[in-house]
Amino acid sequence: MHLLDSIVDATISKDVLHSATPGELLDYIRNIYYVLLTRGVMGTYVYACDEGLREYLGHYLGR
């Protein structure tokens, strides 16, 4: 199972899953992360266990 599949299975109803395009699902997932990462009162910490993912995120988060 791919990461996208596991996120979709955990957060989106089956009706939406069958009617949405892959692009719509990606937009939906990006929106979920945007909301989670921008709603922190004192800030939000993101920790990635995987070294490659940590470097990738650091590029976009300015670290």
Question: 3-state SS of the chain: helix, strand, coil percent to 5?
Answer: 70, 0, 30
Total domains in the fold of the chain: 1
Q: What is the mean pLDDT of each run of 10 residues along the chain (63 residues)?
A: 55 66 86 82 80 88 69
For residue 40, the enclosing domain spans: 3-61
Q: What is the identity of the amino acid at 27?
A: D
Q: Please, which residues have CB within 8 angstroms of residue 32's CB and are 6 or more apart in sequence?
A: 11
Q: So what's the pLDDT on residue 51?
A: 92
Number of residues assigned to the chain: 63
